[in-house]
Amino acid sequence: MKMEHPSNVASDQPRQPIPATPEALLSAVLASNERTADPRLRHILDSLLRHLHAFASEVQLSYAELEEGIDFLVQIGKATGPEKHEGILLADILGLATLVGLIDAKKALAAGGTEPALIGPFWRANQPLRPNGAQIASAQTPGDKLFVDGRVVSLDGHPIPNARVETWQASPGGLYENQDPHQEDMNLRARFETDEDGRFSFHSVRPAGYAVPVDGPCGKLLGLQRRDIMRPAHLHFIVLAEGYKTLATQIFDADDPNAYRDVVFGAVGSLLQHFDVQEDGGYVLNLELKLEPGTMRVPLCPLP
Ligand code: BEZ
Ligand code: FE
């Protein structure tokens, strides 16, 4: 049986040629969006179409350049798989992921909540649940010791018990375990649950900064732009708790030589922190993560 496309219904658009001008074309394109049923989708598409047409007109885009742009998006898709999410990397290097995080956290930021930072392409599903105080670095992992002493609280400072805290970091060699055949599966990754006082803690090693993957189309773009490709050393956190908006953030090592040169613009505001050195030469990171009340949402996980 032939299926009728839901939009294949009698059109109420005028049956006459579109005048051959960019303005008339834009009007026709916007009119074609008027019957989009979901109001939020209609609003987003309307604005996207206006900006896309304005952009092409502003730069006087040629057909060859349009083809190059389309091919770039095709390459982004082809470079995305279980090993690497090039689409997320693209949103990151354009500053879009950081912008959307700031938009989403507007209320929390005004009320003193923790700044967000992008999730990036390296969070893995099913990171192992470990007890508080656990060591997350395998015995073979080199580097300085780091103890992370964290607390999850509400905007008014009340502890949030039973929150799920996801953490992951690169090794002192600057690679995540999934990029590095010399590291054990799930090394430097864990999931914790906060205790009744909102606390979580773990032992690890001090991470190193690293270069973002440049073997795909994003790397080609960064090369054309002659940009830095480094990220300052950091630890990732995602905090999920019933009744609170999910917080994805990173804590950056303020003493890293690349502290102010983050290729993905994630190292914002108070997320740069000094790790305190201890008598035994190890480091401690004391951390308070402040969550805004709202609906918990599990973010898209880029890697299996
Ligand atoms: C990360 O922090 O893991 C990351 C973020 C953006 C691009 C590459 C890596
Ligand atoms: Fe990272």
152 inside domain:
yes
| Shortest-distance Cα residue to atom 5 of ligand 1 | 120
Q: Tell me the two tokens of residue 165.
A: 């805290």
CB-side neighbour CA atoms (13 Å) of 102: 10
Residue 6: pLDDT over 70: no
Residue 12: pLDDT over 90: no
84 inside domain:
no
Q: How many domains would you assign to the chain?
A: 2
The pLDDT assigned to 76 comes to 98
To the question of pTM greater than 0.85 for the whole model, the response is yes
Residues 201 and 180 both lie in one domain: yes
Residues 182 and 249 both lie in one domain: yes
The last residue of one of the domains, among 78, 112, 128, is 78
Residues 244 and 102 both lie in one domain: yes
Residues 101 and 198 both lie in one domain: yes
For helices 96-104 and 86-93, angle between their N-to-C axes, nearest 10 degrees: 80
Please state the φ and ψ torsions of residue 231, each to the nearest 5 degrees.
-115, 140
47 inside domain:
yes
Q: How confident is the model at residue 170 (pLDDT cuts 50, 70, 90)?
A: very high
The last residue of one of the domains, among 78, 101, 121, is 78
Residues 225 and 125 both lie in one domain: yes
Residues 165 and 242 both lie in one domain: yes
Residues 61 and 180 both lie in one domain: no
| Shortest-distance Cα residue to atom 6 of ligand 1 | 120
Closest approach atom of ligand 1 to CA 264: 6
Residues 141 and 49 both lie in one domain: no
The pLDDT assigned to 83 comes to 80
| Shortest-distance Cα residue to atom 1 of ligand 1 | 120
Neighbours of 272 (CB within 10 A): 19
**Measured in angstroms, how far is the CA atom of residue 162 from the centroid of ligand 1?**
27
262 lines ligand 1 (CB under 6 A): no
Task: Give CA angle at 280 (276, 281), nearest 5°.
Answer: 55
**Measured in angstroms, how far is the CA atom of residue 70 from the centroid of ligand 2?**
28
**Section 8-14 average pLDDT:** 59
120 lines ligand 1 (CB under 6 A): yes
**Measured in angstroms, how far is the CA atom of residue 250 from the centroid of ligand 2?**
8
**Distance of alpha carbon 107 from alpha carbon 99, whole angstroms:** 14
Look up residue 116 and give its DSSP letter.
P
Please state, rounded to an integer, the average pLDDT across all residues of the chain: 94
**Section 63-71 average pLDDT:** 98
The pLDDT assigned to 130 comes to 98
The last residue of one of the domains, among 78, 105, 127, is 78
Q: How confident is the model at residue 4 (pLDDT cuts 50, 70, 90)?
A: low
Residues 97 and 141 both lie in one domain: yes
Residue 9: pLDDT over 60: no
1 inside domain:
no
pLDDT digits (tens, 9 = 90+) for 112-126: 999 999 999 999 999
**Distance of alpha carbon 214 from alpha carbon 227, whole angstroms:** 11
Give me the domain span that covers residue 71: 19-78
Neighbours of 17 (CB within 10 A): 8
CATH number at residue 100: 2.60.130.10
Neighbours of 66 (CB within 10 A): 11
298 inside domain:
no
121 lines ligand 1 (CB under 6 A): yes
Residues 194 and 107 both lie in one domain: yes
Residues 54 and 202 both lie in one domain: no
**Distance of alpha carbon 207 from alpha carbon 169, whole angstroms:** 7
Are the C-beta atoms of 270 and 264 separated by less than 8 Å? Answer: no
**Measured in angstroms, how far is the CA atom of residue 216 from the centroid of ligand 2?**
18
265 inside domain:
yes
**Measured in angstroms, how far is the CA atom of residue 120 from the centroid of ligand 1?**
4
Residues 155 and 33 both lie in one domain: no
14 inside domain:
no
